[in-house]
Each structure stands twice: as C-alpha cells, then as structure tokens.
Amino acid sequence: MSVRKPPILMHVTQGIFWAAITFSGGPAAAGDCGLNDVVPGQFLVTELSSSSKSKGSSLKHLKSSQIKLLAQFSKSNQVIATYVVQLSAQEVAQLKSKGDLQVEPDCYVRPQSLRDPHWANALQSSSFQWPSRELLTSPILIAVVDTGVEIEHEDLISQLWINALEANGTAGVDDDGNGCVDDLHGCDFSPAFGEIDGDPRPGQYAGAEHGTHVAGLALATKNARGSEGLAPFARLMAVKAFPDHSTDGKLSDLLSGVYYAARQGAKIINCSWGLARPPGRAELEAFHYAVSQGALPIVAAGNAGMDARSFSPAALPHVLTVGSINSLGHRSAFSNFSSTLPGSPRMVYAPGGDSVSRGGSLDEYLVSTWIKNSYGGLRGTSMSTPLVSGVAAWIAALRPDLTPLDWREIIYSSADSHQVVRPQIAVELSLTWRSGSQLPSELPPAPTADEATSFNTSSPSAESCALLANAKSPSLPIESSRSGFLLLLVPVMMAWFQRRRF
C-alpha cells in the first residue's frame, strides 16, 4: 500500500524564538534601519548616471579598498550602480550632498520566523490533493535567499539546481565568470573567511535551519520519507546570505543574493526575511532588476503585527508580499497586514502557524526539512512565503510565456475575499490568462507617524479557509524520518490546497 507523505505539518507548541521586531513610536524613514541594527561604518550607495563612462565619478575620491560594486545595470536610459562602501561620518555628509547619489546605511536583517525546535500535538486534516501534474512543461528554478540550505538533506538533494558550467569546469576556478567560485548549486555571500564561494550550506547555530526549512516547504521531493513541498518538480538554487554564526544578515549580502539569483536564471526568488522600515533605494533597484530579468520575488510580510508598508522589502511595488494565517483562517497574531493607507502593499495570505504568546488563539507551527537531515517546526510569515513560492512555480511552469507580474496577478486573482491564496484556482486561471501587467518603478510613499502606528484588526475569516481545527496526535522526536515514521503524522491545513470555489 502506498501512502502519500505529508507535505507540511502544523503543530501546537509553545514557541519562544522571534526575530524581535516590535513597533512603537513613529516610523523610520526609508533608508534608515528602523529597529534593526546598523552595520557600523558600512553604507549602500546607489548612483544614477547617464552612461557607463560616468559611472563612479562621484566616488573617485575614495580609496578602492573602501568600495565594492554590488550591482550595475541599465534602466530607462540611465546606468544604475549600487556600491557597498566603508565611510566615515564626514564622508557620508559629503556624499549625501551630491544629487546623483542615494546614501543609505547597510542594515542587519533577520529571518521572519518564530523558532520552536520541539514536536508536539499535531493538527489533522482528512485528505490532500495536488493540482494536476500532467500539464507541467519544465522544471522551474526557485532561489531561496536565506541562511543557507543543507543540500545533502534526503528531501532536498535530488532537487538541486546544477550549474552546468561549474559542473563541467575546473575545481577552484570561476568557470562561468559570475564572481562565485565553484557555485555548483548556489553561492555563499557571507563566508566566514575570504571571498564569496560556492558553498551555500548553513552554519550550526540556533536559527541556521531557517533556509533549509523554507526550501522544504517550497519544493521538498516526493520520496515516501519526510516532508513534501508544494512544488516538488521545481529545482532549488541555494543562496546563503547570512553568516555562519548569526541570524543577523547584512542587507548588502541579501541584495547580492537577489542579484545573483536573477542573473543565474531563477524564476522564483523566495525572501523570507525583512526589516522594520520602509524600503530604500538599494532594495528598490535590486528587486526591480530581478523582475526585469524574468524572476518573481516573493517576500515575507513580516512578524511585527503592523502595516507592511513600514516593512522592507514587503512594501516594494514589484514583489509579491505574503502574510500568515492560522488553521482557522484568521490572520496570525504576529503577521503584518495590508491596509487602505497610501503605500500599503497588496498582499496575499497562506498558512504560517500562530502564537498564543503573541495574542493568537492557537499555538501552531509548520514542520519541514531541518539541518542534520532531520525535520523540525517553525512559524511565521517566513513559512507562508515558500508555500506561495510553490504556487508561483506551478504557474511559471504552466505559463512560461507570461511575465513575472502576470504570475503575480494570477495569484492575486486566485485569492478569496480575504486574500487567502487558493492554489488549485491559481493553476486553473493560469491556463487561460492573458498577459498585460506592467513593471512598476517607483517607491511607495513612506508612512507618517500616525499612519504607521495604526493597526488594522480585520483578518481572513474562518469561512474563507477550509482548514481544520485542533486534533491530537502523538508527540514525536525530531529525527531523520524513514518510510513509515511519518505515517503517525497526519498532514495539516491541507484543505488550503484542495478548496473549491466559493
């Protein structure tokens, strides 16, 4: 007898880890770090010039050791260049006086998950059904820009993207000339020593499992073991942008990861991280570039319980922003949200668990792949984001002729009246969708202090989400699963994937 393994499991538990972002007082201006820490003496400098010949002219007085080019591309007859620059306070003041430069502090950014490393009582649903696979045309590349991915995990090793130029090249040589040596399956933009390299595996500290967990929710393989992702036909590009020792990643490294993923051909770029301030120019240009290269960035709304217009990159105009709901279909207590205020992003919601300690009615989390070839639970908008990335991968596979913003519009249109995504409807809509979405280019307006502190208490209702309420199953240790081990674990919130039209 064959048994479909559970793709995702939501558990009842007491979670204690949260990327500590609470909001009080007025908003941070775009380009500040808000409540996140500033990388001392390091800045993101974005330059707009009329030609590549004039690029960097405003920075020529600085030493070459102070400057690193993060990215350069053309847009609307201008050359956009973003640099990572080491500056003194006096140098910052000098550069800010130049009209062709945008100078912003580099910020530490955190994953948007609430960590709990223990199994507990599970929620149950009676059945689960995937959308039809017979319509798929080709594998879709999903880039997970995160803390790194355990690429040897039993549920992920068969899903890896292979960089053909590096696979057929010489070890220790940058065979494809992209600046990352031996990037066979991805790249590490925050190595402990030396230059960036092709080893995207995570560190061993608490929180390093985040990227592995996210990857599993999106595309863990179907192999009768462990957990199955929503798009197991997709391929994984592992992009590590957090250091081996900490979940505080530099914004500059994360944006480097976004540029890398777009250049290497990723169609979906999953960004389950953010910081509590409106987006700056560097983020705007990086994500704009990704869309222009045929990729759809899908980003976490954030876990601060506030309007996502005060969160980056969630408030950008060319990303798909994802909030979290619990198994009752209500917005998770921690999830950021959208509103009718100017600049508030259009959002969708997907399951991401909930937290009683944050004011929710339930304690739930999602189980997925974990470091050391095991499985564990996390909750947060970090978890709802890769579920929608999986939906987007289905649409991109079915309709490669459409633009990334068309894929986004299909997901918007598949959502119910409370913005909860319905995957099967998204698949159906994609088959007859006509292209027409245009690429936005401007930053949304920054919120005022009064607007930023307002709280929208409306949330998706129980009627809009056919997820099942709490039921008990035995507690289990986190261990590497084998066939039959997870037969005791019943899938959760899977009615989300099999809902019918309302």
Q: Residue 193: pLDDT band by 50, 70, 90 thresholds? A: low
Mind listing the pLDDT tens digit for each residue in 234-284?
999 999 999 988 878 999 999 999 999 999 999 999 999 999 989 999 999
pLDDT above 70 as % of the chain: 73
| pLDDT for 466 | 24
Tracing tokens 């459409």 back to the chain, one arrives at 402
For the chain, what is the mean pLDDT?
Answer: 76
| pLDDT for 52 | 58
- In the chain, the number of structural domains is 1
User: Is residue 147 situated within a structural domain?
Assistant: yes
Please state, in angstroms and as integers, the Cα–Cα distance from residue 183 to each residue in 240, 243, 286, 373, following that order. Answer: 11, 17, 21, 22
pLDDT tops 90 at residue 312: yes
Which of the pair, 51 or 198, is modelled with greater confidence?
A: 198
Which of the pair, 481 or 294, is modelled with greater confidence?
A: 294
User: Is residue 329 situated within a structural domain?
Assistant: yes
| pLDDT for 495 | 41
Range of the domain at 410: 9-25+110-440+448-464
Q: Residue 1: pLDDT band by 50, 70, 90 thresholds? A: very low
User: Is residue 287 situated within a structural domain?
Assistant: yes
Residue range 78-99: average pLDDT? 82
| pLDDT for 94 | 82
Please state, in angstroms and as integers, the Cα–Cα distance from residue 391 to each residue in 337, 395, 462, 467, following that order. Answer: 20, 7, 22, 18
Of the spans 423-432, 463-472, 493-502, which averages the highest pLDDT? 423-432
Compute the distance between CA of residue 384 and CA of residue 332 in angstroms, rounded to an integer: 11
User: Is residue 16 situated within a structural domain?
Assistant: yes
Give the side-chain half-sphere CA count within 13 A for 70: 30
User: Is residue 296 situated within a structural domain?
Assistant: yes
For residue 405, the surrounding DSSP H or E stretch is helix 404-414
Compute the distance between CA of residue 492 and CA of residue 129 in angstroms, rounded to an integer: 12
Q: Is residue 421 within 8 Å of 292, Cβ to Cβ?
A: no
Q: Which residue spans within 112-244 are E strands per DSSP?
A: 114-116, 121-122, 141-146, 186-188, 235-240
User: Is residue 373 situated within a structural domain?
Assistant: yes
Compute the distance between CA of residue 330 and CA of residue 324 in angstroms, rounded to an integer: 9
Which of the pair, 51 or 54, is modelled with greater confidence?
A: 51
Contacts of residue 146, Cβ cutoff 8 Å, sequence gap at least 6 = 111, 210, 211, 214, 215, 239, 240, 241, 242, 270, 272, 273
- Record the pTM: 0.76
Compute the distance between CA of residue 201 and CA of residue 208 in angstroms, rounded to an integer: 9
CATH of the domain at 114: 3.40.50.200
User: Is residue 381 situated within a structural domain?
Assistant: yes
Q: In a 10 Å sphere around its CB, with 0-12 CB exposed, 13-18 middle and 19+ buried, how is residue 109 labelled?
A: buried
pLDDT tops 50 at residue 18: no
User: Is residue 99 situated within a structural domain?
Assistant: no
pLDDT above 90 as % of the chain: 43
Terminal CA-CA length for the chain: 34
Q: Is residue 467 within 8 Å of 329, Cβ to Cβ?
A: yes
Q: In a 10 Å sphere around its CB, with 0-12 CB exposed, 13-18 middle and 19+ buried, how is residue 431 labelled?
A: exposed
Which of the pair, 423 or 192, is modelled with greater confidence?
A: 423
Evaluate the omega torsion of the peptide bond into residue 139 and state whether it is cis, within 30 degrees of 0: no
pLDDT tops 90 at residue 155: yes
Q: Is residue 448 within 8 Å of 416, Cβ to Cβ?
A: no
